[in-house]
Structure 1
Amino acid sequence: MSNRVFRILALLLMFAVLAGCASLPPGVERPVSQAATDVADTRLAAVAAASVDAEPPHLSGLRLLPAGDQAFEARIALARAAEKSIDAQYYQIADDATGRQFLRELRNAADRGVRVRVLVDDLQAAGQDALLAGFAAHPGIEVRMFNPLAVREGSVGARVFFSMNEFSRINRRMHNKLFVADSVLAISGGRNIADEYFGRSEPANFIDMDMLSAGPVVAEMTAVFDAYWNSPHAYPIEHLATGISTEAARWHFDRITASAAASDAAPARDSLGQTSIGPQIAAGRIQLQMAAVRVVADSPRKADPGHESLADGVVMNGNLDLMQSAHSEVLIASPYFVPGRRTMEVLQQAADNQVHVSIMTNSLATTDEPLAHFGYARYRQALLERRVALYELMPGDDEHEAHADGPHASLGRLHAKLAVVDRRWLSIGSMNMDRRSANANTEMSLIVDSPALASQVAGLLRNDRLPRSYQVRSTPGRQGIEWVSQRGKEEVVLSQEPNATAARRLRLQMLAAMVDEELL
């Protein structure tokens, strides 16, 4: 054994021993707090009231946010208008231009006297202790990390590797996405806070969807936030980012966020013809669709190690129940689709009842999670046998992408989590149709009874996305599947999976053999 190899192994062993000794701080104080209720005199409360019909009182006001630039502008506009409180809950707030601008706007709100609570899942926050501690060092701001790893240094992969002794705990992640201003207006859906979710990344951008909400549904969402915020899984950042003085942390945050790009401009109208949120707030009324809506959310207890949650999870079961209620049509968009037993049973029932099911997901060429795609690929033939119309997003860029989802030269990756049932019901939220979302991650979705909103989503998927997708179908006359695309009036048929070289397939097969499907 060479000296170099020996030194590397010795270092790995030392780090493993040190990591094994790492533990979360004991006796952590978590002051209990609740969503702000003294908000009736705020400008946003007046805007929300003007935007929602008073009768019938159980309906809420909703608006889709399909374009990344408008979705970011909406968050910034709400942060700038807030007067009493901002609550933000995300799986990821990246240390990039978007993340820094977002946090800077929240700091500015706190400087105006707004109470700011930010809850972030800890997994993707590698190397961000100084940033988040500096943010929390400002008066009026609290930051808590959900289910933190004891290992604070290193990349995401390194932190996971050196925390394998706690795998049953750290495998459970908070995947929720929620932003609430003054307890009266909320944004939820599929987007995290990072460049690629808002059309700001050059290599690739996510095609995603959010929902802006006002009315009684917001109280349900703030209750979900409070449950997570006050959970024993939420650790104040100051108990994790030790060794950083308050003044130094605050100075560090102010310095690195001062130069963050201040681009929050958005096109005058999105692909649905809707104008930006900021000008509507300034005008005193946001154009919303009135609809009955309910919040379906996993409990933070789902993150308990060894917790026996309901099979498939509350949110997954809510979506499967919705699919099972279909009479004519189900349209699903999910970036990762790894169905379990009950999902396959629901799809078989749909086939037996002559319900037309269409599923849109990423192709191997567009996915950011090849292993999850391999898990899905195992089910393709069985899905086709259940008469599912299967579509996989093609790689490529065009002028439409530049308007709706990012720069002209960027690759579009599907990230929206949507289901439309009978052109009446809509599910939108953070949950992927895979085993990880079902069993390991906490999720939140809205289930909406609105033919208007359901038709908007179905139209966006069918008119904008399906023409830019491969249709996967059984090969006529023999075993196998093929990928079909349209180039003008010409049908292009591929008998081999696009971008699937023999070497790549072999790598994925070897990795998949070592990874339980329940982790995908």
Structure 2
Amino acid sequence: MINRPGKYFPRVVAVLAILLAIGGCALPPMTDRTDSYSVPSEQTADTRLGRAIAPLAQAHPGDSGIVLLENAHDAFVARALLAEGAEATLDVQYYIWQYDITGTMLLDALYRAAERGVRVRLLLDDNGITGLDSALAALNTHPNFEVRLFNPFVVRNPKWIGFLTSFPRLNHRMHNKSFTADNQATIIGGRNIADEYFGAGSGALFADLDVLAIGPVVSELSDDFDRYWSSASAYPAALILPEAAEGDMASVVETARECSASSEASRYVCAVAESALLKNLLEGNLGFIWAPVSMVSDDPAKVLGKKPKNGSMSRQLAEAMGSPEHSITLVSPYFIPTKAGVEIFRSLERKGVHVRILTNSLEANDVAMVHAGYAKYRKPLLEAGVQLFELRKVPGEESVERKLQDNLMGSSSSSLHAKTFAVDGKRLFVGSFNFDPRSVHINTELGFVIESPELTQMMEGHFEEQARITAYEVVLDGSDDLQWIERNGDEEVRYSHDPGTGLFKRMLVSIFSFLPIEHLL
């Protein structure tokens, strides 16, 4: 049977009408948004955190104290302890917050802080809060708890419709992550708030890296939080979310209670109780490494396409890290160097600067399209002299897995998510910045530059040790073709294609590599 040409015309018109109507739903005017700012650290000096930190800071004037949070359980404990220890303020900023075990527990920790009188400001990118609308709307009604959504979607369900009507705006996201208590201590780095970042649940673990910081850099971070909180893209939740219904707050509390009572959460709490950070803190042995630390961050106006007054974060980062003389060691989960980046690395190698890079292998990468953006640069990077490693999956030996869980590269079930690099064994960057076009041009990012040979060499040592255990080294063979070398002790296995992957996945990546979308990745 042949359909008449005009049969589906009314349906097409109806769909177009709906899309046009949705497109007409502009963001609401920013009315009745209250001004609020971080409390100066001098005014929180008499809090528990302030009193504990003061003697340490006084002994190291001008420097900030740093603890690397490599272990997933330590990273959760650090956030939970800051939430429980805060007495004045909690300023929290994240790209993704899931309503799973760890997300529920930390949201409940913020709520309990608000209940005891702590002012909580929660700034979340609106693209990463699936299922949280009613909970956030309820929490926003608490007199001590304010929620703002960064670059929000007007249509709440399904959100993806927003990309059809407002893609140029919604493609820009706030990728920053920070957790600050009383303007005395902060945590920044690569981790979002979800089970895969903290080793909870049964899914894969993201191998990530954060830092816990005290000292002068915390006030820098708080000022930056204020800049985002007051930006033109930070909308009060009440303007975006449906109004909280009666009983929604009770539902949030009950969800937290049910979560904490679940067997899965109980097992996680028991595992967290073994945290080395918690043990060292309780024994008074939490050793901060003191060093000059500076914050680098994008202007929130970046998402609006406005040129920043003091340069993009990528430019700030390049200036802060200085000109490498001997070595660069780079860890990035989503690594797309672009042609310009390859030329930079080539130039550095010609000057005698040794460049080592660790990123995800195809079997470990959670975004195949991003891997396609990277894969076409492997051969040019190797030809430029770069030493290239890709995170792999290690066979499940208990002792090896347990050992790797305490290190930067993560466990055998990991996908790499840490973003860090070291220069000349002296300077270290830790933050949210991926070395790809999206971090450079589209998303906002945040990080610390740490002038510490001790921490830098610690990171480089971990890189060297773990690259042998958990990574393939990618090389060129005698025919100028790619090879992946897997080392297991004295045993060496070579592969002629991406290890641990099927033909279909490799073909898909090959197809993706031809799409003109590199600037979006």
1:484 aligns with 2:499: no
- Describe the shift of the 1:292–1:398 C-alpha distance in structure 2 as closer, same or farther (beyond 3 A): farther
Question: Does the Cα contact within 8 Å between 1:73 and 1:264 map onto a contact in 2?
Answer: no
Moved more, 10-19 or 333-342: 10-19
Tell me the equivalent position of 1:31: 34
Task: Please list the CA deviations of residues 213-244 of structure 1 after superposition, one character each: whole Å capped at 9, or x if unmatched.
Answer: 11111010001100000111001111111243
The match for 2:53 is 48
**Alignment-mate amino acid for residue 251 of structure 2:** H
1:124-143 correspondence runs (5 A): 124-143=128-147
Residue in 1 that maps onto 2:296: 296
Do the aligned partners of 2:137 and 2:243 also contact (CA within 8 Å) in 1? no
Question: Does the alignment pair 1:358 with 2:359?
Answer: no
Distance in 2 of aligned mates of 1:374 and 1:53: 50
AA matched with 2:477: T
Aligned AA (2:480): Q
Write out aligned runs for 1:2-81 (5 A). Answer: 16-37=19-40, 38-55=43-60, 57-81=61-85
Partner of 1:189: 189
Q: Say which SS state the counterpart of residue 244 (structure 1) adopts.
A: coil
Question: 2:169 aligns to what SS in structure 1?
Answer: helix
Distance 1:10 1:258, change over 3 A: farther
Structure 1 residue 286 displacement after superposition: 4.1
Deviation digits for residues 270-310 of structure 1 (CA, Å, limit 9, x no counterpart): 7xxxx424762x66784201101100111101111x33459
CA positional deviation for 1:398: 4.2
Where 2:193 maps in the other structure, the secondary structure is coil
Please state whether the residue corresponding to 2:364 is helix, strand or coil: coil
Distance 1:13 1:20 in 2: 10
Matched, 1:495 2:516: no
Deviation at 1:316, TM superposition (A): 2.0
Q: Is the 8 A contact 1:297 1:443 kept in 2?
A: yes
Look up the equivalent residue of 1:131 and give its one-letter code: A
SS at match of 2:227: helix
CA displacement, residues 359-414 of structure 1 (integer Å, 9 cap, x when unaligned): 000000000111111101111111001110000001234434446549x9972110
Cα distance, 1:347 vs. partner?
A: 0.9
Question: Partners in 2 of 1:404 and 1:68 — Cα distance?
Answer: 11
- Taking the aligned partners of 1:442 and 1:80, their CA distance within structure 2 comes to 29
Q: Please state how far the C-alpha of 1:496 moved relative to its aligned partner.
A: 1.4
Partners of 2:402 and 2:15 in 1: CA distance:
45
Query: How much identity, in percent, do the aligned residues show?
Result: 36
Quote the RMSD (CA, aligned, Å): 2.7
Q: Cα deviations across residues 460-503 of structure 1 (Å, max 9, x unaligned)?
A: 22213442100000112x13111011133121110112244443
2:504 aligned with 1:474: no
Q: Is the 8 A contact 1:19 1:163 kept in 2?
A: no
Once residues 218 and 277 of structure 1 are traced to their aligned partners in structure 2, the CA distance between those partners, rounded to angstroms, is: 21
1:202 deviation in Å?
A: 1.9
Residue type of the alignment partner of 2:436: D
Identify if the C-alpha distance between structure 1 residues 474 and 65 changes in structure 2 by more than 3 Å, giving closer, same or farther.
Answer: same
Is the partner of 1:255 in helix, strand or coil?
Answer: helix
- Residue number among 89, 93, 110 corresponding to 1:89 in the alignment: 93
Offset of residue 348 of structure 1: 1.9
User: 1:256 corresponds to which letter in structure 2?
Assistant: T
**CA displacement at 1:506 relative to structure 2:** 3.4
Amino acid at match of 2:442: A
Cα displacement (A) at 1:95: 1.1
Counterpart-to-counterpart distance in 2, 1:147 and 1:125: 12
Q: 1:45 to 1:256 in 2, by over 3 A?
A: same
Residue pairs, 1:52-451, within 5 angstroms: 52-55=57-60, 57-154=61-158, 159-245=159-245, 247-261=246-260, 263-265=268-270, 275-277=276-278, 280=281, 286-304=286-304, 306-308=305-307, 314-321=312-319, 325-396=323-394, 397-399=396-398, 400-402=400-402, 405=405, 411-451=413-453
The count of residues paired between Structure 1 and Structure 2 equals 504
Say if 1:131 and 1:12 are closer, same or farther in 2 by CA, change over 3 A.
farther
Aligned-partner residue type, residue 431 of structure 1: F
**Structure 1 residue 456 displacement after superposition:** 1.6
SS at match of 2:247: helix
Shift of residue 324, structure 1, vs aligned partner: 5.8
Contact 2:232 2:301 in 1 (8 A): no
User: Following the alignment from structure 1 to structure 2, what is the Cα–Cα distance between the partners of residues 405 and 120?
Assistant: 28
CA distance in 1, matches of 2:201, 2:13: 39
Q: Quote the Cα distance in structure 2 between the aligned partners of 1:289 and 1:39.
A: 23
Question: In structure 1, how many angstroms separate the alpha carbons of the residues matched to 2:29 and 2:107?
Answer: 28
CA contact (8 A) 2:431 2:447 kept: yes
- Equivalent pair of 1:393/1:466 in contact (CA under 8 Å): no
Give CA-to-partner distance per residue, 1:64-114, whole Å, 9 cap, x none. Answer: 011010110011011111100111000011111111100000111111100
Residues 144, 235 of structure 1: 8 Å contact kept:
yes
In the alignment, is the contact (CA less than 8 A) between 1:68 and 1:404 conserved in 2? no
* SS of match in other structure, 1:327: coil
Provide the C-alpha distance between the structure 1 equivalents of 2:95 and 2:114, rounded to a whole number of angstroms: 22
Tell me the distance in 2 between the aligned counterparts of 1:320 and 1:409: 31
| Cα distance between partner residues in 1 of 2:194 and 2:461 | 27
Does the CA-based 8 Å contact 1:62-1:212 persist in structure 2?
A: yes
Q: 1:403 to 1:480 in 2, by over 3 A?
A: closer
Shift of 1:329: 1.2
Distance 1:162 1:174 in 2: 17
Displacement of 1:160 in angstroms is 3.1
CA distance in 2: counterparts of 1:323 and 1:344, whole angstroms: 18
Relative to structure 2, which stretch is displaced further, 20-29 or 436-445? 20-29
CA shift in 2, pair 1:268/1:145, >3 Å: closer
Q: Contact 1:91–1:124 (CA<8 Å) still a contact in 2?
A: yes
More divergent stretch after superposition (484-493 vs 386-395): 484-493
Q: Structure 1 stretches of 5 or more lacking a match?
A: none
CA–CA separation in structure 2 for the residues paired with 1:455 and 1:474: 28
Aligned equivalents of 1:64 and 1:269: distance in 2? 17
8 Å contact 2:45–2:54 — kept in the other structure?
A: no
CA contact (8 A) 1:332 1:419 kept: yes
Kept after mapping to 2: 8 A contact 1:405/1:412: no
Deviations 1:406-450 (A, max 9, x none): 9x9972110000101111110000000111000001001111110
1:124-169 Cα deviation digits (max 9, x unpaired): 1233211211222223000100000112112xxxx23443221111
- Structure 1 pair 93–496 and aligned structure 2 pair: CA distance change class (3 A): same
- CA distance in 1: counterparts of 2:320 and 2:472, whole angstroms: 27
